[in-house]
Amino acid sequence: MAGRGRVRGTAAACALLLAGPAGCGAPATPDTQATAVQRLLDHRATAVLHRDRPAFLATQAPTGDAAGRPVAGAAGFDNLRALPLAAWSYRLTALHRTGDRATADAELRYRVEGYDRVPVTTARVLRLVRTDGRWYVGSDEPARRAPEQLWEQGVVETVRGTRSLVLGVGQPRRVLRGYARLADRAVPAVDGAWGARWPGHVVVVVPRSLEAMAGLLGAPASDYRGIAAVTTGEAGGTGQTPADRIVVNPDAYAMLGGSGKQVVLSHETTHVATRAVTTAATPLWLSEGYADWVGYRGDGRTPAQVAPELDRSVALGRVPAALPADADFAFSGDAGRLARAYEGGWMACRLIVDRWGRSRLNDFYRAVGAHHRRAGAVEDALKKVLGTTPEAFTRQWRAYLKARLG
């Protein structure tokens, strides 16, 4: 996280002299101001968790933050009132003081009730003022390079589906209900493909705009222009799914038809389901191709309809020589290259299902992720699960493209 050094007490050095042992110095003196600030943050967290507005306001500086700027008051508190919280806490990681002014680096951890098995963790910077010997919060903001939180963009609206929770800002409730219906269809579709070994519900976040989406992801808006949705979360085979969120780009999503919207949410829900076994060993052609395979599964579209860019390339005699590399999935402005990468990964997963069956595709996905590092992962899984080699599989994939496309 973004802590720039931990709060420390002072300790005297203890030396061993040639003439004989010497006594140690005085014990470390605790930083009483750091303790006081942590206590303030604990009170603030309890107020948020228990929806206690007066207690929250009691932690706020009455006149402004450390720079004299006016305080937003309880706006942030009121904005997250509808968010169902199971936990909310701050951990002070560093305190920088100048007299009665201070800046606190802290780690905010919170869980959405019924959905998060482990907390969302994000770095915060709080500017503090001390009045009559007590510390108060002047401002509470994302740390440098940390993403915004949804409630910082406005009042959070919530819509509960049967297997989904939709959180939105600046969106009509009827629009949020539409997302919930699509997510509720996506979850059983993923169950039918991947199996039930995942939590079986999703959280969908719908901000006001592309720019607001970028703020939630801590990245420039240009990185996500034309991308309908992304899934956040920490990859790694821990057996736990750390607070995954499907974050929607409402500008791009609105351009899709009904079936396209369903494919996008089913694709992203697949990423939630497979998170625990998706590791650094998993190439993007497999993780994105598998998610597309689930998204398009059973919708009746032909390969040429799902993979139009690759279809055109094959028709012109330009059959890819190799499976898509991770770099091919970069959103670098070459929309055709990006589309062919997704389409190539989808066709590879479709080939595995057609030749070896759905269960083998799932086994192959898990076997690749079990390596935790890229070198040798695909090669080993191809041999053990599918009984083939990378060279043979690539030849089969190229032949499959020629047979189904062009």
pLDDT value at residue 406:
86
Select 151-273's CATH number: 3.40.50.300, 3.30.465.10, 3.30.565.10, 3.30.2010.30: 3.30.2010.30
Residue 278, token pair as written in the block: 């998706």
Range 279-406 has CATH code 1.20.120:
no
Q: Where are the beta strands (DSSP E) in 262-364?
A: none
Burial of 289 (0-12, 13-18, 19+ CB in 10 A): buried
CB 218 within 8 A of CB 145: yes
- Element (H or E) spanning 177, and its range? helix 173-194
CB 294 within 8 A of CB 286: no
pTM reported for the whole predicted model: 0.86
CA nearest neighbour of 7 among 108, 110, 104, 126: 104
Contacts 24+ apart (CB under 8 A), 360-368: 360/385, 360/386, 361/290, 361/293, 362/193, 362/194, 362/195, 365/274, 365/277, 365/282, 365/286, 365/290, 366/277, 368/281, 368/282, 368/283, 368/286
Percent helix / strand / coil, the chain, rounded to 5 = 45, 20, 40
**From CA 244, how far away is CA 117, in angstroms rounded?**
10
Domain layout of the chain by residue ranges: 32-146, 151-273, 279-406
pLDDT value at residue 10:
30
DSSP string, 352-384: HHHHH-HHHHHHHHHHHHTTSSSTTHHHHHIII
Question: 127: which strand partners?
Answer: 103, 139
- Beta strand 202-206 with 164-168 is parallel
Contacts for 157 with CB less than 8 Å, ≥ 6 apart: 82, 167, 168, 169, 171, 173, 176
3-state secondary structure (DSSP) of residue 304? helix
CB 206 within 8 A of CB 221: no
3-state secondary structure (DSSP) of residue 179? helix
**From CA 336, how far away is CA 374, in angstroms rounded?**
26
DSSP string, 183-251: HHHHHHHHHHHH-S-S---EEEEE-SSHHHHHHHHTS-GGGTTT--EEEE---SSSSS----EEEE-HH
pLDDT value at residue 222:
87
What is the number of alpha carbons within 13 Å of residue 87 lying toward its C-beta? 15
CATH of domain 32-146: 3.10.450.50
Sites in the chain below the pLDDT cut of 50? 1-29, 64-66, 68-71, 235-241
pLDDT value at residue 7:
32
Residue 359, token pair as written in the block: 């269960």
CA nearest neighbour of 187 among 163, 160, 159: 163
**From CA 307, how far away is CA 296, in angstroms rounded?**
11
pLDDT value at residue 353:
98
Which one-letter DSSP state was computed for residue 284? H
pLDDT value at residue 229:
95
Q: How many helices (H) and strands (E) would you count in the chain?
A: 14, 11
Place of tokens 């066709």: 347
CB 251 within 8 A of CB 209: yes
